[in-house]
Structure 1
Amino acid sequence: MFSDDSVESVSVPSLWKQSQHSEQDSKSCQTRQLHSADAEAQSVISSVSSTQTESKDKDEQTLYEPNPKELEKPELKHFLDRVVESVIREIVKNARSHAFDGFKVNWEDHNELVSCLHCLEHPSAKERDLHVTCVSWNCTGAVISCGFGRIDNGDWSTEKSFVCTWNLNRKGLSPTHADLVIEVPTAVTALCCHPDQPALIAGGLYSGEVVVWDTSRTQDTVLAQTGISADSHREPIYKVSWVPLQKKGVFGILSACSGGRILLWNLDQSSLILSTGYALVLQQVPHSSSAGFKTRGSSNIGVTALARSIWDSDTFLVGSEGGLLLRCSFSSQKMAVVPSEGQSVTLRAPAVFSFRKHNGPIHSIHCSPFHRNLFVSAGTDGLVHIQSLLQANPVLSLRVSDSYIFQVQWSPSRPLVFAAATSQGEVQIFDLGHESLRPAATIEKGHCGQAATCLAFNSQNTHLLAVGKTDSTVSIWQLSGDLTEQGPREISQLDHIAGQVAE
């Protein structure tokens, strides 16, 4: 039914391959044609200019050749002819002047050496126009105490006053609201905080009383007072100071008044007991070639300033309203030539040496904390005298004010720095390490005519300085590192100053 049969093969050529091949050959590249063009550079056109230097291959070529047309101007020639003599005269004068000797230009940014942190005041004292008469830091350096009174025409007022304290570390510090206000029946003339116990404050009053306040008490803050007796002072007290006694950690209170008596009190629990008494009598004062005074009778010497040496426990210094400056000894056994007035102790004559007399009452004395022989004194003559215990004449005297100086004090951290409070309202801070003896810084805050009556460096926070004024304010100033950080050669410079022999 079916059978094999062979037939010839038939080939059919592919038209698709031919059509594709022909199509590919006819198509062009699918990328666009790249076009290029030439453009000029965008650089800035430069030009060559000549320099003002001389060419090495030319000899004696002038740097500048003036334009002849400029010299032909008659107004320029007339101006030069008119001013040339005056200019030459001023140049010669400046070359001979010494006005800027020691002056160094500071091209850096000016840094303030002092800045005001707080301005403290008590509203009641402000209303009654009381003056800040004394300030003192407590032993921690956190609390500032100030006493109020009034100084009018050189006299102390007898009206009631205050003692106020502020804790600067307190979070809620209020400049117009004191942490503690103590009402005092008369003007406060002196304050001194205890060197070890932060709550104790010794004070001197216009009435002659010595008072110790305990600020830790919530009710009656008066811990002890002398009252009015034969042993107590009978004139205004100008200075009180805590004095270490023979028993370790025990302190007495040294007080001085304008009547010439200096008394040492022992604090026995809640009472003050007179331990030793001294009296300054003019005829018992030792003479020196430069003391400049004459002995007339046995009149008492009114004490207006007192300072204790921290280097020698037997030495203290006294300044008087007559300008006398005396070195005294606690161990003196010489009897004072004064009439007996019922005192429980016999008064001694402590003066052992006289320094050159000041021209007026002495308001302040302070011993250097860095040199055993140096101290400063100041008063109504406007001069600060830097003096040595070893000679009568000052080693250096500085004109600080044209009026009174109420207080002067060495810095507790810089051996060559001290500050002075003046009746003109300024506080001048001097740095003896400078070539110039001009003030390194000046505090002038306050109204015109308000005197700076007192100041106190903070021995713990040495960058703080408290200043009291007659406008009832106590300002706290922050000192920069230039005034508080000790330099490497300051002690040797201080030794050099102490070794100078005054002319």
Structure 2
Amino acid sequence: MFNTKSFDVVSFNSELSTTKLETSANVQTTEIVHTADDTQTTDTRSIGIQTIHEQKTDMQVDYDKLAEFLKRVTPGVMEVLDEAYGSNAFDDYDPNVTEASSANVEILKKISALKESDTQIKVSDLSWSTVGGTLAVGLSHIYHEAWCDHLSTIQLYNLTIEDNLTDAPTKTLETNGCITTLCYHPTEPSILAAGLSNWDVLVWNLRNDDSITPTHVCTHSDCVSQVYWRPRSVNDVTLLLSSSRDGYILIHKLTANFTTAQLHKRFKIVKERNPVENARPRSAGGTRERAAEAGLCITSFDFSPGHPSIFVVGTLCGGIYKCSLDSVTPIEGDATLIDPVIDEYERHGGSVTCIKCSPLRNLFVTSTTDKEIRIYNLDEHVSQQTISVDNTVVGLTWMIGNQDIFAAYGADAYIKFYNVTDAKPMTCAKFEITGKQSISSLRVNSKRDMLAVGDVGANVEIWKFPRHLF
């Protein structure tokens, strides 16, 4: 199958070519030509300027006509200036266009309103004047075993041009009861309202420095929980609303330069709307005496910016009610007493401590003693979002710059911020006050980009808070 064969060797010679193809070429740039031109102005002109000395003549002024003119135009000028106090046209204006603004939150001032003899005093409420130049600090005793007969004060501090708060109050208003709530008028910078623990509602006109006597507006039958100025509309007078733990909301008209108060309306959240009270007999003396009894204990209320006549009320038993100033539903037994409730929202499990309506959206935010913050749509009964917190929140306030951000404060030294659109916390601006005390009040000064924080140790801290922080 296999055979063996031999073959002759076949060979060939290798050949390496060492000759390479070479070519040569010359490259030369073109000749560069230089030229020079002389330029010289040929026309010159000289001008001389000389001032001429004139003899000044004495001006003749008719001071009687000048006084008559000033008297005629002053009321109109003052009215325009007063309207400009409430303008927000220059809120975002920054005159420093060459340097970047600082975005740091820093403390500017810390003062103590505590006297050596007073050890149980707290800051009960704060209020900035509408132009942002004055801070009102209301003081109160921490504990009340019975009727409040304490002598208390409202201390007024002024801000300088350099945003420094005066060390001592420029004026002190004395009251015969502890301060529970303060509110400066939204357009009149010299008008201040206060509610007291002894049930009184007072109004001061601070335009005249010599007069510190307040106007007595009304007396509730329990501690005043809130006072609120409703901005005046066209052809209308100023309205002051006051709520109390007696269940009543009283509305007064202020006239004669805020020296005369006239009762306009009386509202009451009737007890029958409280599920806990449904089983109670209507009245021991008959059905028509029920209206004389106290209503639901009102702790907080706020108006909707988008609906000037609509406001939301929170109560001690956790109820949240949508109310209207235009309601005409009388309560049985008293034609002058009106139930303002037009709708009801999902109840809280604890007492409502604060209600704030969004300045931009159809929303409002509530805080309660059950350590919850809820976000409601004004037209829906059930809350949209619920935020659980570690400590009880006693107050809420909307921030400057981004008005979707609100601050929550209360039973600790921390101030926390949340976005109302998604209920998420804003970690970039969480900060702690230096006093380490529980915070009792916080107010924003939108004119000066500041926060004023008061605590239960009668300390007040002023913080610089840039509006572009969020």
TM-score normalised by L of structure 1: 0.65
- Structure 1 residue runs without a partner (length 5+): 1-110, 286-291, 485-503
Say yes or no: does 1:483 pair with 2:469. Answer: yes
SS in 1 for 2:412: coil
Aligned positions of 1:29-428 closer than 5 A: 113-124=104-115, 127-152=118-143, 158-169=149-160, 175-226=166-217, 232-248=219-235, 250-269=237-256, 270-284=259-273, 295-297=278-280, 300-337=295-332, 346-371=336-361, 373-400=362-389, 402-428=390-416
Say yes or no: does 1:470 pair with 2:456. Answer: yes
Q: What is the distance in 2 between the residues matched to 1:262 and 1:435?
A: 31
Q: In 1, are the aligned partners of 2:394 and 2:409 still within 8 Å (CA)?
A: yes
Q: In 2, are the aligned partners of 1:118 and 1:476 still within 8 Å (CA)?
A: yes
Q: What is the distance in 2 between the residues matched to 1:236 and 1:255?
A: 11
Shift of the 413–155 alpha-carbon distance from structure 1 to 2, 3 Å rule, reads: farther
Amino acid at match of 1:442: K
Q: In 1, are the aligned partners of 2:360 and 2:404 still within 8 Å (CA)?
A: no
Which residue of the partner structure matches residue 21 of structure 1? none
Shift of the 189–156 alpha-carbon distance from structure 1 to 2, 3 Å rule, reads: farther
Amino acid at match of 2:142: I
SS in 1 for 2:307: coil
Q: What is the distance in 2 between the residues matched to 1:124 and 1:476?
A: 20
Q: What is the distance in 2 between the residues matched to 1:435 and 1:222?
A: 45
Q: Cα RMSD over matched residues?
A: 2.7
Which residue of the partner structure matches residue 14 of structure 1? none
Shift of the 246–325 alpha-carbon distance from structure 1 to 2, 3 Å rule, reads: same
Instruction: Give the structure with the higher percent strand.
Output: 2
Q: What is the distance in 1 between the residues matched to 2:397 and 2:233?
A: 27
Which residue of the partner structure matches residue 445 of structure 2? 458
1:348: how far off? 0.1
1:391: how far off? 1.1
Q: In 2, are the aligned partners of 1:125 and 1:472 still within 8 Å (CA)?
A: no
Q: What is the distance in 2 between the residues matched to 1:126 and 1:136?
A: 25
Which residue of the partner structure matches residue 47 of structure 1? none
1:174: how far off? 5.6
SS in 1 for 2:312: strand
Q: What is the distance in 2 between the residues matched to 1:237 and 1:441?
A: 33
Q: In 2, are the aligned partners of 1:118 and 1:475 still within 8 Å (CA)?
A: yes
Amino acid at match of 2:296: I
1:149: how far off? 0.5
Q: What is the distance in 2 between the residues matched to 1:172 and 1:123?
A: 23
Amino acid at match of 2:297: G
SS in 2 for 1:283: helix
Which residue of the partner structure matches residue 59 of structure 1? none
1:271: how far off? 2.2
1:331: how far off? 0.8
Amino acid at match of 1:151: I
Amino acid at match of 2:370: D
1:411: how far off? 1.7
Amino acid at match of 2:371: G
Q: In 1, are the aligned partners of 2:450 and 2:462 still within 8 Å (CA)?
A: yes
SS in 2 for 1:468: strand
SS in 1 for 2:331: coil
1:155: how far off? 8.4
1:308: how far off? 1.3
Which residue of the partner structure matches residue 40 of structure 2? none
Shift of the 469–176 alpha-carbon distance from structure 1 to 2, 3 Å rule, reads: same
Residue-by-residue CA offset, 1:133-159 (whole Å, 9 max, x unaligned): 111111101211121102338989541
Amino acid at match of 2:417: I
1:451: how far off? 1.4
- Structure 2 residue runs without a partner (length 5+): 1-101, 283-293
Q: In 2, are the aligned partners of 1:147 and 1:191 still within 8 Å (CA)?
A: yes
Larger radius of gyration: 1
Aligned pair count reads 355
Q: What is the distance in 2 between the residues matched to 1:281 and 1:197?
A: 34
TM-score normalised by L of structure 2: 0.69
